[in-house]
Amino acid sequence: LQNDHKALMKQVEEALHQLHAREKEKHARDEAEALAEAMNRTQSLPQAFAKVNAVTPGSPASISGLQVDDEIVEFGSVNANNFQSLQNIATVVQHSEGRPLSVTVIRSGKKVHVGLTPKRWAGKGLLG
């Protein structure tokens, strides 16, 4: 009986080692896939050309939901491919006063669309 018990316990122990080894491999594979997927998502985000460093409370930019640290990838017709200077954005804003503009930003690693209508308000400029 003792020999049977030892042999049976050895089989159980080996089976447990195999089970845990397979589980460890599966976990490593899952982590690698998740990392690869995250890298693909990051790489598929469009190129930002400007970053929001201030938003005045009560301004058109604030009302639209624009936030500090948003990275701008599209501002109306301006994008990373045709952006040369902030004057490009100023021109789009002046020509769009009172009309909604489509603004796309990257916020916390995600692409977010914001509808922004440049207009006169109590503060300086048309955006704030």
What residues are paired with 101 via a beta bridge?
A: 116
The average pLDDT across 92-114 equals: 90
Average pLDDT, the chain: 88
Backbone angles phi, psi at 111, to 5 degrees: -80, 125
Q: How far is the C-alpha of 105 from the C-alpha of 126, rounded, in Å?
A: 19
The average pLDDT across 82-109 equals: 89
Assign 78 to helix, strand or coil: strand
Structure tokens at 59: 């301004």
- Judged against a pLDDT cut of 80, whether residue 74 lies above it is answered with yes
Structure tokens at 38: 């995250």
| 24-43 per-position pLDDT tens digit | 999 888 888 888 877 766 56
Query: If we measure between CA atoms, which residue out of 93, 94, 113, 112 comes closest to residue 102?
Result: 113
Query: If we measure between CA atoms, which residue out of 102, 37, 41, 36 comes closest to residue 74?
Result: 102
Q: What angle do CA 48, 43, 83 make, to 5 degrees?
A: 20
Q: Look up the pTM and report it.
A: 0.62
Structure tokens at 67: 């936030």
CB atoms under 10 Å from CB of 96, counted, come to 18
Residue 22: pLDDT band with limits 50, 70, 90 = very high
